[in-house]
A and B are shown apart, each in its own frame.
Chain A
Amino acid sequence: MRTPDRRVVIGGIVAFAAAAAAIGYESRRLFGRHYPPTPYDDLFALLPDREAARKVGAAFLKEHSNFTSKTAAAALRRRIGKQKLDAALQAEIADGALTEAGRWLMPQTLAGLCALAAKAG
């Protein structure tokens, strides 16, 4: 029996890996969570994990039933401005502008972003 050519083996591995990566990408695109466009996508872009944020936001909303997305979004944009999110949060932390979401203590802006994400679905 002949030993397979080394170049053929390497080529096969590369082709297999490329196919697997393509399938993975397509599956995520086809089956992963999709969020419809909202007027707040500029704010959601600040959240590295929107799904986790939605869970936190849902907990926050349980105790803040008067939360309205439009008003909150305007306030959040004002507060964050052109700063990076981390910088905006640190300013709030220094001021003691904290709130609770499901009793987890966090900056008000972060809780607001999470609540907005939860409202947006």
Chain B
Amino acid sequence: MNFTDARQVPSGTKLMPELVIIGGGPAGISLALALARTKIKVLLLESGGMQFDAATQALYAGQETGVKYYALDATRMRYLGGCTNHWGGWCRPLDEDDFAQRDWLRHSGWPFDRSELDPYFPRAQELIEAGPLLYDKLAKETLPGGDLLKLGPGGIYNSFFQFSVWRGNPDHLPTHFGERYADDLKRVPNLQVMLNANVTALRLGQDPRWVDHLDVATLDGKRFTVAPRHVVLAAGAIETARLLLASNDVATNGVGNENDLVGRYYADHAIPRDTATLVVFGGEIAASYKTTLDMKGAHFRATLSPTQQFKKDRHVLGSLVTVEQRVALDELGAAAVTTTSAALGVDGSNAHAYSLGCGIELAPDPDRRLTLTSERDALGMPRLKLNVTISDQDFANYREALVELGRQMLAAKTGMIRLDRQSRSEWLSVMDWGNHHMGTTRMNDDPKQGVVDGNCQVHGLANLFVAGSACFPTYGSSNPTLNLIALTLRLADHLKGVFR
């Protein structure tokens, strides 16, 4: 039995595995499984247990300032499986251009292009149980639920998300990594999973380029240390930054924070509601926009996205348009549809209208950041404050994509749109967020511009790595889980080389 409970470990114990993974979310679990066939002795430390526990979850509490955001203890889940315990299962690989350095976008550019991740997507796709890698290839299929929206030539195209479906789960939920992979983890011979184990500090050695040991605490008062050869932080973009910042006894700015970058560039996908009204002149829109459907083993949904060329030409970031529920047209809306459809020579008498939702990629912003506060949690760790920003340009970028969509619908004579949000206050009044935490230990080969290098190794630290979307320097409009798992699998291959 390789699942143990930290509360059973006597205080003062010193454990010495070869590799410690801090955090049992999708990154930590994927990494542990990827190292299963190696001889590396791995200890995975998970703060929570197998189920939600209010006292453990309360360790996440913090403050939020700036644009309204979720409470820090509501936007995450602190037990085995991490954020997959409350995710929606949306999956899509990042676009190639998401990795590019763009002259018009400050702080853009990954240290590598997407071809570095491509070999890892098939396995990542298996782990999230989203069926075969089809995505935009679905556009060439005869889809159930009617034909896709016809668009005139331009910068918006029909794109596709696939969904994680927990195989064998009667409720068809997205895969909850903790419960789904607990048995697989138990079968890994060189792995120990320790639950209820909270890492409270990374302690540097006499040589400050090395993490010497970790302080571990339990909520019932046990304190012990773990001294591994290598450490991987896989605690999510918020908690990973917190642990680095709070480990400030030797490096006074925190571990890996020589250049004041840890915790900065925090990102999430903005998902304001009811951003526009889309009218289809000919009647009902295809079912694949409104709900998830099945095709060739994939559970999918159609969306609308800007092409890479459009993003490049217009200097806009990624976004996606989702069709939400049917809405009634008011008198002006009915008049606009009657007038426009007739002027274009098409029948609009059976037009259907829908509200649109979205996902918006934000531009990297160093002021959207996490900092420590003077408040402490039950284990004595400083709590966090998150400052959330969103610029008018972020909204304007998305609005530009909506205008292009409307233009292409008029060109195809298939419909038209109403742009429901214009002023900043209008956008903020319908703001919501994706719970997609990214960017706080951004990746860049230059230590002055990134916390980790292209191998996800913390600059200046010989044995410390970060796994997960904390490393994303830019964010794309795709949900992060599939992509962070692909990045983690790449890290696993790198670590195999490190231990060889």
Which residues of chain A have C-beta atoms less than 8 A from B94's C-beta?
none
Which residues of chain A have C-beta atoms less than 8 A from B410's C-beta?
89, 93, 98, 105-107
Minimal beta-carbon separation of B226 from chain A (angstroms): 58
The main secondary structure of chain B at its interface with chain A is: helix
Query: Which of B40-48, B142-150, B302-310, B417-425 contacts the other chain?
Result: B417-425
Which residues of chain A have C-beta atoms less than 8 A from B403's C-beta?
98, 105
Which residues of chain B have C-beta atoms less than 8 A from A85's C-beta?
343
Contact residue among B339, B406, B411 (Cβ-Cβ distance under 8 Å from A56): B339
Instruction: Closest A residue to B152 by CB, please name it.
Output: A93
Most-contacted residue by chain B among A52, A59, A93, A105 (CB, 10 A): A105
How many residues of chain B get a CB closer than 8 Å to chain A's CBs? 25
Contact residue among B335, B343, B411, B419 (Cβ-Cβ distance under 8 Å from A103): B419
Which residues of chain B have C-beta atoms less than 8 A from A46's C-beta?
343
Which residues of chain A have C-beta atoms less than 8 A from B339's C-beta?
47-49, 52-53, 56, 106, 110, 114
Minimal beta-carbon separation of A49 from chain B (angstroms): 5
**Interface pair A86/B343, CB less than 8 Å apart:** yes
Which residues of chain B have C-beta atoms less than 8 A from A79's C-beta?
none
**Interface pair A48/B407, CB less than 8 Å apart:** no
**Interface pair A56/B152, CB less than 8 Å apart:** no
Q: A47-B343, A48-B343, A49-B342 are in contact. Are A106 and B336 (CB under 8 A)?
A: yes
**Interface pair B332/A104, CB less than 8 Å apart:** yes
Minimal beta-carbon separation of B418 from chain A (angstroms): 5
Question: In the docked arrangement, what's the CA distance between A100 and B410, Å?
Answer: 13
- Encoded as 1 (CB less than 8 Å from any A CB) or 0, chain B from 400 to 441 comes to 000100110011000011111010000000000000000000
Answer whether residue A90 sits at the interface, using C-beta atoms and an 8 A cutoff.
yes
Answer whether residue B380 sits at the interface, using C-beta atoms and an 8 A cutoff.
no
**Interface pair B419/A56, CB less than 8 Å apart:** no
Instruction: Closest B residue to A50 by CB, please name it.
Output: B339
**Interface pair B336/A56, CB less than 8 Å apart:** yes
- Encoded as 1 (CB less than 8 Å from any B CB) or 0, chain A from 94 to 113 comes to 10101011111111001000
Answer whether residue B338 sits at the interface, using C-beta atoms and an 8 A cutoff.
yes
Question: In the docked arrangement, what's the CA distance between A93 and B331, Å?
Answer: 25
Q: A59-B332, A93-B410 are in contact. Are A86 and B345 (CB under 8 A)?
A: yes
Minimal beta-carbon separation of A100 from chain B (angstroms): 6
**Interface pair B336/A101, CB less than 8 Å apart:** yes
Contact residue among A51, A89, A102 (Cβ-Cβ distance under 8 Å from B336): A102
Contact residue among B335, B342, B416, B422 (Cβ-Cβ distance under 8 Å from A48): B342
Which residues of chain B have C-beta atoms less than 8 A from A51's C-beta?
335
Answer whether residue B333 sits at the interface, using C-beta atoms and an 8 A cutoff.
yes
Instruction: Closest B residue to A117 by CB, please name it.
Output: B339
How many residues of chain A get a CB closer than 8 Å to chain B's CBs? 28
Question: In the docked arrangement, what's the CA distance between A55 and B403, Å?
Answer: 22
Which residues of chain A have C-beta atoms less than 8 A from B345's C-beta?
86
Question: In the docked arrangement, what's the CA distance between A106 and B334, Å?
Answer: 14
Which residues of chain B have C-beta atoms less than 8 A from A100's C-beta?
419
- Encoded as 1 (CB less than 8 Å from any A CB) or 0, chain B from 334 to 351 comes to 111011101111000000
**Interface pair B411/A90, CB less than 8 Å apart:** yes
Which residues of chain B have C-beta atoms less than 8 A from A98's C-beta?
403, 406-407, 410
Question: In the docked arrangement, what's the CA distance between A46 and B345, Å?
Answer: 11
Q: Which of B371-419 contact A (CB under 8 A)?
A: 403, 406-407, 410-411, 416-419
**Interface pair A105/B417, CB less than 8 Å apart:** yes
Instruction: Closest A residue to B412 by CB, please name it.
Output: A93
Which residues of chain A have C-beta atoms less than 8 A from B407's C-beta?
93, 96, 98, 105
Contact residue among B331, B343, B419, B422 (Cβ-Cβ distance under 8 Å from A110): B343
Question: In the docked arrangement, what's the CA distance between A114 and B407, Å?
Answer: 19
Minimal beta-carbon separation of A82 from chain B (angstroms): 17
**Interface pair A49/B338, CB less than 8 Å apart:** yes
Q: Which of A32-67 contact B (CB under 8 A)?
A: 46-49, 51-53, 55-56, 59
Which residues of chain B have C-beta atoms less than 8 A from A59's C-beta?
332
Most-contacted residue by chain A among B152, B331, B340, B419 (CB, 10 A): B340
Question: In the docked arrangement, what's the CA distance between A89 and B338, Å?
Answer: 15
**Interface pair A102/B344, CB less than 8 Å apart:** no
**Interface pair B338/A103, CB less than 8 Å apart:** no
Question: In the docked arrangement, what's the CA distance between A48 and B90, Å?
Answer: 45
A/B interface sample: 5 pairs, CB < 8 A? A89-B343, A90-B344, A90-B411, A93-B152, A94-B152
Q: Which chain B residues have a beta carbon within 8 Å of chain A's beta carbons? A: 152, 331-336, 338-340, 342-345, 403, 406-407, 410-411, 416-420, 422
For the complex with contacts A104-B418, A105-B406, 17 further pairs of A-B residues with Cβ separation under 8 Å are A47-B339, A47-B343, A49-B338, A51-B335, A52-B338, A52-B339, A55-B335, A56-B332, A56-B335, A85-B343, A86-B345, A93-B152, A94-B152, A98-B407, A98-B410, A102-B336, A104-B340
